[in-house]
Amino acid sequence: MRTLLVGIALVLSCGIAAAQDDGALEVDRPDVSNSTGTVGSRLFQLETGVEYARTSVAARAAERRFAAQMALRAGLTDRLELRLEGEPLVALRGEDDATGLGDLTVAVKYRVLDAVDGAPALGILPFLTLPVADAPIGSERPDFGVVLLADFELPWELALTVNAALVGLGQSRPRGFLFQGLASASLSREVVRSLSAFVEIFYASPDEREGRHIVGADAGVVWTVARDVALDAAVATSLKGPAPDYALRTGVSVRFGR
């Protein structure tokens, strides 16, 4: 399953940042899910990182994947942001060896409702993935989809984020689209000042015909080292299906434009 698509949708994700009106930095990594939070009007946020993943494949050499990750988020209004996400470098080693550029995803995130009187904050994230990567790094076919976002405030300063998505995956044989369902639920909490921890679980239906369902989990931390700078780290594993045996992620996010 493509790392970028998994990233757009399915995880038990963290509500890593505080409310929009207090100016706190909110990031959408190192987990691969999204909260309802947006960058803010006329602000920009660059989220970068690296990921190393190892996947066992029956009767074949294990696949190792290294990727540089980047997402640029631009605030059009306080509720709406434009997003460009991609992998400037991907290196595959295993049955197929390849090095090159990953696919590029264009998306918008809109926060529909704020959390009020116990009701969750709600948002929507439609996206289009452009097939700029050559096979085997990419499918060489476009993908599209929409992710529904919900953030809940729970007792004991816990935050719950739920994502649900429907994705149309471009297929080559036979040509057309395969519709994939994604779902996630997440739990996070600030451990000490400026340091948040999260755990995640996610599900994905098959991303190719005759494929298998995927269930996975990850956990990590985000450290806000300054008002506009955050560092992160996470580890992920597969619980069922052809997801990576393990994946390690780390990165840095910077907000600018004030």
Residue pair 177/169 in contact (Cβ under 8 Å)? The answer is yes
Task: Give the pLDDT of residue 191.
Answer: 94
Q: Is the pTM of this model over 0.95?
A: no
Give the pairing of strands 246-256 and 44-55. antiparallel
* Whether the predicted pLDDT of 73 surpasses 70: yes
What does the block give as tokens for 95? 């049955």
Q: How far is residue 42's CA from residue 27's CA, in Å, rounded to a whole number?
A: 17
Q: How far is residue 28's CA from residue 127's CA, in Å, rounded to a whole number?
A: 15
Residue pair 44/25 in contact (Cβ under 8 Å)? The answer is no
Spans of all domains in the chain: 3-256
For residue 176, what is the enclosing H or E element? strand 175-192
DSSP-derived secondary structure letter, 116: B
pLDDT tens per residue across span 114-164:
988 889 999 999 999 999 999 989 888 999 999 999 999 999 999 999 999
Class of domain 3-256: mainly beta
Cis peptide before 30 (omega within 30 of 0): yes
